[in-house]
Amino acid sequence: MNSRKLKAWQAQHAAMLHQALEATRTRKPYQPYSDEMVDYDNAQVEQGAYRFKRLLGAPLHIEPQPQCRSQEHWAGSERSPYGFDLGISYRVEDFQVLACKADKAMRKWRQLEVEQRSALLCEVVNRLHADTFLFAHVGMHTSGHGLFMGFHANAVHAQARALESVAGVLAVSRELTCQFEAPMAVGQGQQQALSREFATMPTGLSLIFAGQVVPTWGAYPGLFASLAAGCAAIVVPHGNAVLPIALTIKTIKAVCAQVGVPQDIVNLFYSDELSAYRQAALHPDVRLIDYMGGTEFGCWLRQHAWQARVMTQQSAQTAVFLHSTGDYDGMLENLAFGLCSYSAQLCTSPQTLYVLPEGILLEDGVVTVEQFERDLVARIEQVLGRYSSLRDLLGAMLVPTSLSEIRACEAARFARVLRHAEEVRDPDYPQARIVTPSLIAVRQGFSSSIKHYAQEIRGPVSFVIQKPDLRCLLAELREVGQHHGTLGLGLYTLDSRVEHALRNISQEMGALLSINFSKNFYISQCAVFSDIHGGSTGAAANTTYGSPAFYHARLRVTEQRKLL
């Protein structure tokens, strides 16, 4: 092992890691890398596009020194939401083989001090950052991002999530590790000197299921936390978003190879047999499972993978209550952009907009529900009109059936359509699935309509829902959170009593509450190091990114004591 190189990385990344530790402790905003594209050279953007195109139509080797093996099986079926096949294939390996490799590698990996593992992982994050615009373009064509969102969600913000996890595990490890000597007497006996040493060990093999919407942002917290804790990790990518995970693992392996650390501390498990993923989750060596994705498989994991600690982030939606505001124009702007951005495919995008019959109260008057509906539609049109290329704002739809689901909602008896979803043809990507927002007012008296708007709909449709009073509104929010999944709550109010009520219910539901967000800080945004993600309660999630429990799960405490 190249200890000299590891020490050099410790020195090189010491300042960044110290700042990350401080941000983890204080939760004050911290950005290890700029998330403003103007701070980067345009040539980097072009180079990222060029490197992405060079990957198309060929096998991707993730090992630093690939070796040709007889009877290798390769597979891959990724298709860009912008309308073309990537043609990239990945090596398919038996999970049992990967688990054996992981066990062997972990025996050496866990022997490194947590500070050394942290330094190595900081070097990985730094190299991922050097590939920022490659990942931005990859995000476009595996997850339907616009370029700017790919730059954020699949690159710089994901890199910050990785660093956050490294710092979180390092902080927890230091808290749990100590050594001391102390006198001790048993009964009436003579005092004796006793030494105690408390140390941490990795929980075991970590299995990470990555989603498609934000594959790196969603997978990096569990991946980097497990690696920092000394666990080996195997990552299962979404079948249409393999490339960002494969490139990440390729980078980790390259860094490990440079210092003689076993590369099998991390591997990609990809299969063209869906049943293989369930079998992998039940493997007796798997001790940790991180999952981000749909509710059905997440619930299956919770019910069946009893040998592992299962941590899930599942389908969810975000509700907004519009009670009163001191900035009506800023509120409209915030909501309209949220309904348009990435076709509202994030679980943090506003999907249900709740109002009361008296309308939205202002400091000097009131806006009726009908006027608000007209104003919101007009503001959506304004937001759309600012973009010469709507794909930059809307991105592309991931689920081929999303538009038909939206049309079904628009045609439902409960629906009064305020704005119809419209298909957009992009001249550069004529096969892309690009759709403008649908806005639907829910007619009163259709109690069954809740089953349509309470579940997450992966596409640009939002509902204006009028409840007779605050008590009924809070009851429905609680029901949706418990049985369908609410990840976030938005609130616009000038009334401290209403704010108090929503604070209480958001804590019960484990939902992130955003109060009076206006203009260009959006409800859907989540600031790494400051904001948590997932509330550990209700149907949406049973774990929280950025919480101590998320890191503690990957470590177990050991004790050794000696009579001196």
pLDDT per 10-residue tile (average), the chain, 564 residues: 93 97 93 94 95 96 77 90 96 96 97 96 98 98 95 96 97 94 82 91 97 95 98 97 98 97 97 92 97 91 96 89 96 94 88 95 96 97 95 92 90 94 94 95 84 83 94 92 85 96 91 88 85 75 88 94 89
Q: Could you give the CA distance from residue 110 to residue 116 in angstroms, rounded to a whole number?
A: 10
pLDDT at 68: 64
pLDDT at 485: 81
Q: Is 356 helix (H, G, I), strand (E, B) or coil?
A: coil
Closest to 281 (Cα-Cα) out of 271, 290, 292 = 290
Task: Look over the chain and give the mean of its residue pLDDT values, rounded to a whole number.
Answer: 93
Q: Is the dihedral of CA 242, 243, 248, 252 positive or negative?
A: positive
pLDDT at 536: 63
Return the structure tokens found at 540.
Answer: 């949406």
Return the structure tokens found at 553.
Answer: 């799960």
CATH 3.40.309.10 fits 317-515, yes or no: yes
pLDDT at 70: 63
CATH no. for 3-59+72-182+196-314+544-563: 3.40.605.10
Domain ranges of the chain: 3-59+72-182+196-314+544-563, 317-515
Q: Could you give the CA distance from residue 473 to residue 392 in angstroms, rounded to a whole number?
A: 35
Question: 305, 474 in Cβ contact below 8 A?
Answer: no
* Identity at 190, one-letter amino acid code: Q
Closest to 164 (Cα-Cα) out of 217, 215, 114, 111 = 217
The pLDDT tens digits for 118-177 are: 999 999 999 999 999 999 999 999 999 999 999 999 999 999 999 999 999 999 999 999
Q: Could you give the CA distance from residue 439 to residue 379 in angstroms, rounded to a whole number?
A: 12
* Identity at 360, one-letter amino acid code: I
Q: Could you give the CA distance from residue 223 to residue 208 in angstroms, rounded to a whole number?
A: 7
Contacts 24+ apart (CB under 8 A), 447-451: 448/414, 449/412, 449/414, 450/476, 450/479, 450/480
Return the structure tokens found at 399.
Answer: 């689920």
Work out the burial of residue 92: count CB atoms within 10 Å of its CB; fewer than 13 is exposed, 13-18 middle, 19 or more buried.
middle
Edge-to-edge strand list for the sheet holding 192-202:
178-184, 192-202, 555-563
Q: Could you give the CA distance from residue 227 to residue 205 in angstroms, rounded to a whole number?
A: 10
Place of tokens 């309509």: 449
Rounded alpha-carbon distances, angstroms, from residue 163 to 19, 120, 248: 10, 11, 14
pLDDT at 67: 67
Q: Could you check whether 3-59+72-182+196-314+544-563 and 317-515 share the same CATH topology?
A: no
pLDDT at 438: 96
